[in-house]
Amino acid sequence: MKKTLTVLALGGMFVASATIAAIPDFAVVDVNSDLAITYEELLAAMPDVTEDAFLSADANGDGVLNAEEYAALGA
């Protein structure tokens, strides 16, 4: 019985982790609908994201994330 409860508890933790890892839809984060996400917009939607993660995702170095770059954050 104890082993079953442990497995169920771990299973619940896995589901919670998967839910946390999901990123919001691009259109939701792109508050001003300019098809580019600034660090400030990203931080408002995902408070735990670091500037280093943002800069790493900004593949073309233009200071904002396009849809493709944003999607790479969740990959």
Q: Give the CATH number for residue 37.
A: 1.10.238.10
Number of domains comprising the chain: 1
Instruction: Evaluate whether residue 51 is within a structural domain.
Output: yes
What local confidence, expressed as pLDDT, does residue 21 receive?
A: 58
Instruction: Evaluate whether residue 10 is within a structural domain.
Output: no
Question: Within 10 A of 37 (CB to CB), how many other CB atoms are there?
Answer: 24
Instruction: Evaluate whether residue 8 is within a structural domain.
Output: no
Instruction: Evaluate whether residue 6 is within a structural domain.
Output: no
Instruction: Evaluate whether residue 73 is within a structural domain.
Output: yes
Distance CA 70, CA 67 (A): 5
Residues facing residue 65 across a β-bridge: 37
> Structural domain of residue 46, as residue ranges?
24-75
Instruction: Evaluate whether residue 38 is within a structural domain.
Output: yes
pLDDT in tens, 22-67: 899 999 999 999 999 999 999 999 999 999 999 999 999 999 999 9
